[in-house]
Structure 1
Amino acid sequence: MSHHPVAAPPSRAGSLNRRLLLGLPAAGLLGACAMPAWPRPQVSTGSLRVDVQDRDSGETLPVYTGGDGQMYVAGRPGARYGVTLHNLRSERILVVMSVDGINVLNGKTAGWDQDGYVLGARASDQIAGWRKSDREVAAFEFTAPGDSYASRTGRPLDLGVIGFAVFSERRPEPRPVPRPPMIPAPMQKDGSAASEAAPAAKAEAPAASQPSGAGAANDAAAPSSLARRERSAIEEQKLGTGHGQREESIVTHTRFVRARSTPDEVIALRYDSRANLIRMGIIPGPDDRYARPRPFPQAPQVGYVPDPPMR
């Protein structure tokens, strides 16, 4: 059984994260569109790659991108699923993960300052359920909205989205470089200094530019508002994530200090049934011969204008 990395709750930069799920050594998402898009195997950013697996069939679910940049996977009702996180950096990262607007580690309505998974440099691991203890999870499974964990706990407004907030680790402060000792200037016969000591040069380094958190903040608001706008879509095939059977998943704890209070990146991966994604135009339907508009949809005809039908 593989181990997973988790980290605990800081509410501001410099707070400590103390829970770690150790990852295996190794090595994000969008709204409706009018035109189907070719799928890709995973979501990938500068820091994180995300794969979603149907654990019952073993299939890695293809990711479809909508016209507004949102990304989707098609879930199979009743199937267990897992989310594999791959750290693309050569340093540790913290990933705060949510499903249907709920933190997968503590069951709280999700926020950036909560518990998360710590992944080692170039490490990866699969997150397969709601964490119940340091040794168990309740499996993620695609289910009807009313049977989802979010609905059963009175929070049904954000069904159908998996979120990831990625944080860098604070690096140790560099030790100050000692200044060389002052050497007195030679004296003239009249006792005055040969030259005035040059004023000490200010050696203050410019403030380190921090990655902008504005884009991340806007992205974080998007999942909730988009989920509400999509509430008018056909509901009978819509999916949520259920609280499945208990499974062994052992975690350990670690110390992690966030470099900033806001994430470096926020990723939202949406999911729904295949039937709904076809209705929304995200996935080509079984009768779609073309994935793109055709300049001449009608087959060539020979001859002239035909007579109208008989009355």
Structure 2
Amino acid sequence: MKTLLSSLVLAALSCAPLARAGDLVDLSVIDRDTGKTLTTYARDGKIYVAGTPGHRYSVRIANRIGERVLAVLSVDGVNAVTGQTASPAQSGYVLDPYQNTDVAGWRKSASEVAQFNFTALSSSYAAKTGRPDNVGAIGVAVFREKPLDLPWREGKIASAPLADRYTPPSPPAQPASQKPAPASVPSGAMDAESAIAKSAGATNDLARAETAAPGSAAHMRKAEESLGTGHGAREISHVAWTEFARAGTQPNEVVSIRYDSRANLVALGVIPPPPPPRRFVEPQAFPGGFVPDPRS
């Protein structure tokens, strides 16, 4: 199958904290309006980050091994390249050995994306295309590459050029009444990207009540509507097609992150609530009264 390859090899792995260290890739979320990697919180074997409504973000994928991998990125259960309901079998981005790259939006063409931004669940791209069930989950399915049949191993060469072996995927179909409105294209090219499919079994734990002990913070009413990912302004982002033969039909690794607003994660017990403010009593030189006995 044909997959997307970043047109640039980005800088070495960031030293910022990563969401989870997998065997093949690391995954993290970057707030593009602050430039900071979002702090991660662990609960019940899951990883969470707190997003800020209205802020743009990108998904950073870092290849940790010395061979190419295919990364299938899903945002809210939607393939970030094709717009289809995500599946690991779909198209994605290819990362070179030890490459890391930021995926800044929904791929609109080989030269443009629509920015990811944190928005209310009801305003998310997934909800507006009739797929709200997995809003709040970001995942990447990772595939190793099948070794090529080299002439000195097989005694023959490929029967066709690599470029002729695969057919590009057809553009995703969108409901006629729900196509996202075009947005303006900001000037200046952004960083190259890489990504594809939904994390297997990922669900929007934050969009509905979680199981928790009675009286726990998770049973508190959420402070605000859950966050989702919007279909934001267009920006330049160049990629090129390449071939990638998967070593197997199942992902070699799946890494996922859940996200919501800080207020909601506090209400759900994912983020500890801030300590109550310390009451400060102004010391008095002459508080009055008589001298008491000391405490024993």
TM-score, normalised to structure 2, is: 0.69
Is 1:163 equivalent to 2:139 in the alignment?
A: yes
Q: Is the CA contact 1:25–1:122 (under 8 Å) kept in the aligned structure 2?
A: no
Is 1:224 equivalent to 2:184 in the alignment?
A: no
**Hey, what does 1:65 align to over in structure 2?**
42
1:225 Cα deviation (Å)? 7.2
Give the letter aligned to residue 97 of structure 2: A
1:168 Cα deviation (Å)? 0.2
1:228 Cα deviation (Å)? 6.9
CA gap 1:139/1:176 in 2 versus in 1, 3 angstroms: closer
Give the letter aligned to residue 155 of structure 1: R
Would you say how many aligned residue pairs link Structure 1 and Structure 2?
223
Matches within 5 A, 1:1-311: 16-22=1-7, 23-27=9-13, 41-66=18-43, 68-173=44-149, 175=153, 220-221=200-201, 223-224=202-203, 226=205, 230=209, 234=222, 236-287=224-275
1:21 Cα deviation (Å)? 2.2
Determine the C-alpha separation between the residues in 2 that align with 1:149 and 1:155: 8
Gaps of 5+ in 1: 1-15, 28-39, 178-218, 290-301, 304-311
1:127 Cα deviation (Å)? 0.2
Larger radius of gyration: 1
Task: Report the secondary structure of 1:20's partner residue.
Answer: strand
Task: Report the secondary structure of 2:36's partner residue.
Answer: coil
Task: Report the secondary structure of 1:146's partner residue.
Answer: helix
**Hey, what does 2:193 align to over in structure 1?**
none
CA gap 1:142/1:72 in 2 versus in 1, 3 angstroms: same
Gaps of 5+ in 2: 156-198, 211-218, 278-293
Determine the C-alpha separation between the residues in 2 that align with 1:242 and 1:63: 21
Task: Report the secondary structure of 1:158's partner residue.
Answer: coil
Task: Report the secondary structure of 2:89's partner residue.
Answer: coil
Determine the C-alpha separation between the residues in 2 that align with 1:104 and 1:245: 15
Q: Which has the higher strand share?
A: 2
Task: Report the secondary structure of 1:254's partner residue.
Answer: strand
CA gap 1:117/1:63 in 2 versus in 1, 3 angstroms: same
**Hey, what does 2:182 align to over in structure 1?**
none
Give the letter aligned to residue 6 of structure 2: L
Q: Is the CA contact 1:24–1:125 (under 8 Å) kept in the aligned structure 2?
A: yes
Q: Is the CA contact 1:73–1:270 (under 8 Å) kept in the aligned structure 2?
A: yes
Give the letter aligned to residue 75 of structure 1: G
Determine the C-alpha separation between the residues in 2 that align with 1:230 and 1:173: 51
Determine the C-alpha separation between the residues in 2 that align with 1:98 and 1:274: 22
Q: Is the CA contact 1:157–1:227 (under 8 Å) kept in the aligned structure 2?
A: no
Deviations for 1:169-226, whole angstroms, at most 9, x for unmatched residues?
Answer: 001347369xxxxxxxxxxxxxxxxxxxxxxxxxxxxxxxxxxxxxxxxx712x1374
Give the letter aligned to residue 258 of structure 1: R
Q: Is the CA contact 1:163–1:266 (under 8 Å) kept in the aligned structure 2?
A: yes
1:44 Cα deviation (Å)? 1.4
Determine the C-alpha separation between the residues in 1 that align with 2:38 and 2:94: 24
Q: Is the CA contact 2:135–2:228 (under 8 Å) kept in the aligned structure 1?
A: yes
Determine the C-alpha separation between the residues in 2 that align with 1:227 and 1:41: 21
Give the letter aligned to residue 224 of structure 1: T
1:239 Cα deviation (Å)? 0.2
Give the letter aligned to residue 252 of structure 1: A
Q: Is the CA contact 1:161–1:269 (under 8 Å) kept in the aligned structure 2?
A: yes
1:106 Cα deviation (Å)? 0.7
1:51 Cα deviation (Å)? 2.1
Determine the C-alpha separation between the residues in 1 that align with 2:244 and 2:236: 24
Identity of aligned residues (%): 45
Q: Is the CA contact 1:95–1:118 (under 8 Å) kept in the aligned structure 2?
A: yes
1:18 Cα deviation (Å)? 3.9
Determine the C-alpha separation between the residues in 1 that align with 2:108 and 2:118: 19
Give the letter aligned to residue 140 of structure 2: F
Deviations for 1:67-122, whole angstroms, at most 9, x for unmatched residues?
Answer: x1100000000000011111001000000000000000010000011011100001
Deviations for 1:278-302, whole angstroms, at most 9, x for unmatched residues?
Answer: 111111112269xxxxxxxxxxxx9
**Hey, what does 1:188 align to over in structure 2?**
none
